[in-house]
Structure 1
């Protein structure tokens, strides 16, 4: 195990190509790094022996060398358990590894080819994912996520969210700031929208359970669209679908008063159905 005196939050940088990464942020003045072979593999132990683990000012670097071998080489799986002070920043790069972060972190950057990512509480997130699942409990700032076939489960986002996904599904609990989302074939669920929403999907369905104010722009090719408008909010509607059905349970009303909440909703669908209702 490696141990460093770190009375203040650190900037953690991890490169681990295959295995499992567990990050823990808590009230401590010591950073510890423990690297072990996941399956007791001697080849993995050799990688650990050649790893770089060092402190550079306020930066902690954990860098595993890449295993030698070609396309059919056996795996060299390493488990890293790292404890850092609360509100530390983390930058993680992997080829195939699961990543877990517990406790409050500052900004987090993740670049991974495959593997699951589980984050509890962060400031801002920038993530580039290939395949796997990403779960985020809460972000005190903004998130920027690009995923290939990764499924996303996002809790509370205090700032803006920019999400691009190919075939993965996305479920978002609450985005307080503007949301920009593009999906190829995955389904999207947003339970509570804050400010403006701009969402596009190819063949996936879009479900916005509760919108309250701002502007909502939604486009799909063949996916269905359902939007719930909060009680007491007046909605200006611009709905167009080529061959899908449109159903609305919203009551027609006169122009809203100056102090009444309003939302502008623009929906464009190819062959998908559109449903508008009260949340």
Structure 2
């Protein structure tokens, strides 16, 4: 321990199970080609004496392949005072698992982690280069990239998913949902916000109560797109036969391609169900 930070290393000849609990600040966990785990704690604001007191009481311990980091204000002062912000940086071997719970902190994880579970009451979450990812924030944005599968939930915030090899499940009460490519069966839902999909080739549900649904390119699979108030725009890839079921209570429906119930053998097919109460539906051919 020094006057301004805490740093400690642990032997880690194999992947670890990492658990982190904190209140406020930043949490960053990166996997790397290492044989030691390193934990670094420091105040987010230089010279924060309350944060230093919390760091002095932090629990950092290893039991076999398990590593636990717990940073709590307990015993440092009245609970009505704001929590001091503390930065937590952890480096572990690749393929380690990770669980993080924070009250009000931004979380960043990646570098080759295995199963990753990230929770914050209020803060942004970034997960890059993990296998299966679970993220949940009460208020904040979620960014996920280069993962095997993802479940993401935000009470108020945008969710952006890029390069996911499998299933994507997203639910946000207020915010936009953007996914570049969907290769696995997926559900994308927002109560207030737009849903945008770059490309899809699976069974996909995209729903919003208030906002637009846009799919740039459907290659094959099944698409259910619904909005109560907003437009639905769908692009169907060249060479893909489409079966369309579209309806708008108040708005127009336009399709630039001929639907078919009997595609030729070997053709890629997509079944589209698009519905809006107040808005337009447009289906076009995409490259």
Into which bin does the TM-score normalised by the smaller protein fall?
over 0.9
Where does residue 145 of structure 1 map in the other structure? 152
Q: Give the deviation of 1:22 after TM superposition.
A: 1.6
Q: Report how many aligned residue pairs link the two structures.
A: 277
Where does residue 22 of structure 1 map in the other structure? 28
Cα distance between partner residues in 2 of 1:153 and 1:253:
33
2:130 equivalent among 85, 103, 122 = 122
Q: Give the deviation of 1:69 after TM superposition.
A: 2.9
2:194 equivalent among 187, 194, 198 = 187
Where does residue 95 of structure 2 map in the other structure? 87
Matches within 5 A, 1:155-234: 155-234=162-241
Q: Give the deviation of 1:253 after TM superposition.
A: 5.9
1:69 equivalent among 78, 84, 91 = 78
* CA deviation map 1:155-207 (0-9, x unaligned): 01111111111111111111210011111011111101121011111001111
Cα distance between partner residues in 1 of 2:82 and 2:261:
69
Where does residue 57 of structure 1 map in the other structure? 64
Q: Give the deviation of 1:91 after TM superposition.
A: 0.5
Cα distance between partner residues in 2 of 1:250 and 1:70:
63
| Distance of aligned partners of 1:49 and 1:232 in 2 relative to their CA distance in 1, 3 Å threshold | same
Q: Give the deviation of 1:251 after TM superposition.
A: 3.5
The gaps in structure 1 that reach 5 residues or longer are none
* CA deviation map 1:80-103 (0-9, x unaligned): 111101121110111111112241
Q: Return structure 1 stretches of 4+ with deviation > 6 angstroms.
A: none
The gaps in structure 2 that reach 5 residues or longer are 1-6
Q: Give the deviation of 1:74 after TM superposition.
A: 3.1
1:106 aligns with 2:110: no
Where does residue 38 of structure 2 map in the other structure? 32
Where does residue 242 of structure 1 map in the other structure? 249
**Cα root mean square deviation, aligned:** 1.4
